[in-house]
Structure 1
Amino acid sequence: MKTVWLVDDDASIRFVLEKALSRAGFNTESFANAQDVLTALKFSQPTVLVSDVRMPGMDGMALLELIAEQNPGLPVIIMTAHSDLDSAVNAFQKGAFEYLAKPFDLNEAVALVESACRANSAKKTKRKAAPPKSAHIIGEAPAMQEVFRAIGKLSASSMSVLINGESGTGKELVASALHNHSPRKENQFIALNMAAIPKELVESELFGHEKGAFTGADTVRKGRFEQANGGTLFLDEIGDMPLDVQTRLLRVLADGEFYRVGGHQSIKVDVRIIAATHQNLEDLVKQGKFRDDLFHRLNVVRLRLPALRERTEDIERLAQHFLHKSAKDLQVESKILSPKATDLLRLFNWPGNVRQLENTCRWLTVMAPGELVSEQDLPPEILEAEATQQEGDWLDSFQQWLNQELKQGKENIWPNIQAQLETRLIKTALANCAGHKQEAAVKIGWGRNTLTRKLKERNIS
């Protein structure tokens, strides 16, 4: 029977994992600290080891490094409540088999252990390089943890990557992280947005031009490929690249060389390509707008970035980060979101994704009157969306209730609910008008006499 060792100073975590793994047919042995594990490894070795990161004494990362040196065939799954990008990349670079963010689904944890058992015979490559500091990517949502995991797994390679995601989801930030955690990190990261360049200039931007190649080409100019030599070239909105340029790009990817516009001397380059798009490239291929062979050349590894509405658990931390950043940029005090304002930010659909949230936080830094941002301080589009949603929720609930009443064969539905609705309407209006009947009647849309009559009919004092 396969044996799993569990290392965590939290007894409750050890307990639930022991139970789940035992039910799945594993033998388990638990340790409260890393030192006890190292002692036990002198006498025996488990099939898989699962370790927490933050523990008293030696932490999980230090334990992982020692195991990678002394027991390189032992798969180690790292689990941590501090699920940021650097933690994920650090774990993979130090030789972790997998990375598990707390709180985790027990079925997922068992599945990872089973996967590690199947890979037990494979030796892990020892990686000593510490991760460089990258642009800050915030993400505790499961979909973002998958992105972090992928960046970690790709940290030792220079494979092409295709990033899919809506506008504003942070594709360039992820591309930069892929570069900064790769063997090419000491060289250039060059970005070029295909949608932001006139079609007639794309070729010159990518490959450069010789002096006199066209009107206005007064000097020799290096293109983005030459600038990125030895590093990474990020091609954003690759779906907008003209077909003739796609053909030239394919040749560069295949041969590693190209000619400047107007040039006759081939130039050799070593460049990693990371491409991104908000479009469906498969559809563009079917429509004849994107080369099939180029698509397959780029689509070695694909990452999908979730829309902000798919990761609402990250909105509060993102907003706090952007409020602090904009306050620092503008040299003012940082704003603080009230609980109600935070709730409304979570409920908003965010069609512009993270970029829209960042712009909203910058707007709040300038426009919100006090240090504490209340719900009334939020931009009109968020308040209007919230009001529309509330109205929709109320009508949806009423529709469900009405359908249920009709299915049950109820009759006289309107007379029965009219009394209840009018009573609630009158009491609420009077409460909001401090008991002033004339003002309440105007709010409701009745005359004063009508309100007086309704008060008597409904026996409202």
Structure 2
Amino acid sequence: MKTIWIVDDDQAIRWVLDKALQRAGMAPTCFERARDVLDALQTERPDVLVTDIRMPDMSGIDLLKAIKQRAEDLPVIVMTAYTDLDSTVTAFHEGAFDYLVKPFDVNEAVALIERAYEHGRENAGHGTEQAVLAPNLAADYDKMMTQSSSRQMQEIFRAIGRLAPSKVTVLITGESGTGKELIARAVHKHGTRAGKPFVALNAAAIPRDLLEAELFGHERGSFTGASAQRRGRFEEANGGTLFLDEIGDMPLELQTRLLRVLAEGNFYRIGGSQPVSVDVRIIAATHQPLEVRVEQGTFREDLFHRLNVIRLRVPPLRERREDIGQLATHFLKVAASSLGVAPKQLSPEALAIVQQFDFPGNVRQLENFCHWLTVMSPAQRIDKNDLPPELMASLSFSPGTERTTEGVAPTAGSVGDASATAAHWSSAATPTAASQGPYTPLAGSDNSQQNWLDKLELEVQQRLQSDEQDIMAHLTQEFERIVLTTTLENCRGRRIDAAARLGIGRNTVTRKLKELGIEHL
């Protein structure tokens, strides 16, 4: 049986948690004084310890420090009614599993204790284990890229294999964050120029008046501040590869110079009188549709055709969801390495949810999410409740509806149920059992452009025409259901946060959910 120790000088808190944990099948033991807990730890230890932060004999922070010296892997939950920044940060800094703010929802507290127990069981005996730092994360990523199970990525790998040994110019297209530079590096790495320089320049990141000097270099005295001769990126890449990222943002006058270099293989430094010959392979990349920019007159058509010899389109992450799990595992390792902690793992349920996100920022956004999870997730095993709020809020699907992409099929209880329930309910014929049955909109009414108050007025009129009784009660229930389910979804199911956003008490939220028959949220 799960043994839980509770230490709080408030008898009411001890009593409530004791009864709730017993109902949940756990074995709680309550302490009024922190020092009694330290004495008990000399002969036994619990699975989880829950402590108040302000107690007369010893603070919860001091108790936490003492516990971590004796049992580093024991999950400790700190609870307090004083939500100041210093105590919160200090609690996490000293190794607290999580922070429970009073007054709390009892069900949420029990669920948090359950998670702490699972975390402790998964990490039993590994409290002093240090993070395993990957010796060469870049090499690991290269290996991972070449093992993608996506059919589209496999086609890119085949193309790289064919074109890498040649000198042919390559144009890489794709949304921001898809890894276009990584593909460019792969082309260079697997070609005959692998031992030569790979030089990258982002045309959108350099001011317009400096871009020419960056590309072609300058002679001493060619302009104010040019105190010495400087080689440009073309010369630096001589014999190797020059990667021109965001080529679509290059000014028209520089496009002309670039076209001449591609055609003749030489150029002049700024202020120079002697041509400089270079042997450089050009790989360009852009997230913009160059054909459209050609039509708009902002990109030279002849340069476009010079660059568009071989085109590789890197698919967005939403088109290769089968790679998300592998990428996430890698980025969790990278984040753990940078923070000096052990890598965390996504639970199957959490991974299924992540795989359904469209990732407008693509691989770069997934990497940021994994770093966020490494910092913010309290447990070693990442559950769906640990996922970033923006990811959770973006998902909205009906329970039981299969998603054809990658075969992910959400079921009842999955993330998004709150909004799906609200959407289903709002279109339902009958809000309560007392309703007199379905009603239909007035013939010919089109209120798509009306605001919600106008729609409410129309709704009341329809119900009056259908001779419905208790209209106020029914509409109030509908209003409260939508407001509660939508807010709870936004707050990731945390009732205390939802109550704060709505400006009502937590107990009121719990009572309303019970009255509406949606206590599972």
Output the TM-score relative to the length of structure 2: 0.52
Alignment of 1:176-215 (within 5 A): 176-215=185-224
C-alpha deviations, 1:401-451, integer Å up to 9, x for none? 87xx999xxxx9x99xx8xx99xx9xxx9xx99xxxx999864649x9xx6
Contact 2:197 2:237 in 1 (8 A): yes
Equivalent AA in structure 2 for residue 215 of structure 1: T
Q: Does 1:375 align with 2:348?
A: no
- Name the CA distance, whole Å, in 1 between partners of 2:210 and 2:247: 15
Q: Does 1:266 align with 2:266?
A: no
Contact 1:206 1:225 in 2 (8 A): yes
TM-aligned CA deviation for residue 386 of structure 1: 3.3
Indicate which of 344, 357, 361 corresponds to 2:366.
Answer: 357
Q: Does 1:255 align with 2:264?
A: yes
Counterpart residue number, 2:149: 140
- Name the CA distance, whole Å, in 2 between partners of 1:142 and 1:275: 23
Contact 2:321 2:355 in 1 (8 A): yes
Structure-2 change in CA distance of 1:303 and 1:260 (3 Å) = same
268-277 or 367-376, which deviates more: 367-376
- Name the CA distance, whole Å, in 2 between partners of 1:381 and 1:219: 50
Equivalent AA in structure 1 for residue 274 of structure 2: Q
Counterpart residue number, 2:169: 160
- Name the CA distance, whole Å, in 2 between partners of 1:196 and 1:224: 14
Name stretches of at least 5 consecutive residues in structure 2 with no aligned partner.
1-138, 398-415, 430-437, 441-465, 486-493, 496-504
Q: How many residues align?
A: 306
TM-aligned CA deviation for residue 368 of structure 1: 1.9
TM-aligned CA deviation for residue 330 of structure 1: 2.7
Counterpart residue number, 1:219: 228
C-alpha deviations, 1:130-180, integer Å up to 9, x for none? xx9983425211221121121112132121111111111000000000100
Contact 1:135 1:176 in 2 (8 A): no
- Name the CA distance, whole Å, in 2 between partners of 1:439 and 1:189: 59
Equivalent AA in structure 1 for residue 149 of structure 2: E
209-218 or 244-253, which deviates more: 209-218
- Name the CA distance, whole Å, in 1 between partners of 2:439 and 2:317: 39
Alignment of 1:98-177 (within 5 A): 135-136=142-143, 137=145, 139-177=148-186
Counterpart residue number, 2:325: 316
Q: Does 1:331 align with 2:340?
A: yes
- Name the CA distance, whole Å, in 1 between partners of 2:393 and 2:235: 49
Structure-2 change in CA distance of 1:441 and 1:236 (3 Å) = closer
- Name the CA distance, whole Å, in 2 between partners of 1:154 and 1:188: 18
* 2:142 aligned counterpart, secondary structure: coil
Question: Identity, % of aligned pairs?
Answer: 54
Contact 2:396 2:420 in 1 (8 A): no
* 2:395 aligned counterpart, secondary structure: helix
C-alpha deviations, 1:275-323, integer Å up to 9, x for none? 0000010010011100000000000011111111111111111000111
TM-aligned CA deviation for residue 398 of structure 1: 6.1
- Name the CA distance, whole Å, in 1 between partners of 2:379 and 2:200: 39
- Name the CA distance, whole Å, in 2 between partners of 1:133 and 1:317: 11
Alignment of 1:70-81 (within 5 A): none
* 2:385 aligned counterpart, secondary structure: helix
Structure-2 change in CA distance of 1:161 and 1:396 (3 Å) = farther
Contact 1:134 1:180 in 2 (8 A): no
Cα RMSD for the two superposed structures: 3.8
* 1:143 aligned counterpart, secondary structure: helix
- Name the CA distance, whole Å, in 2 between partners of 1:245 and 1:439: 62
Name stretches of at least 5 consecutive residues in structure 1 with no aligned partner.
1-131, 456-461
- Name the CA distance, whole Å, in 1 between partners of 2:212 and 2:310: 25
Structure-2 change in CA distance of 1:332 and 1:439 (3 Å) = closer
TM-aligned CA deviation for residue 347 of structure 1: 1.9
* 1:195 aligned counterpart, secondary structure: coil
Contact 2:141 2:330 in 1 (8 A): no
* 1:215 aligned counterpart, secondary structure: coil
- Name the CA distance, whole Å, in 2 between partners of 1:145 and 1:397: 41
Structure-2 change in CA distance of 1:212 and 1:441 (3 Å) = closer
Contact 1:167 1:278 in 2 (8 A): yes
Alignment of 1:89-100 (within 5 A): none
* 2:168 aligned counterpart, secondary structure: coil
TM-aligned CA deviation for residue 377 of structure 1: 2.0
Structure-2 change in CA distance of 1:255 and 1:401 (3 Å) = farther
Output the TM-score relative to the length of structure 1: 0.59
Q: Does 1:229 align with 2:238?
A: yes
* 1:347 aligned counterpart, secondary structure: coil
Counterpart residue number, 2:434: none
Equivalent AA in structure 2 for residue 237 of structure 1: E
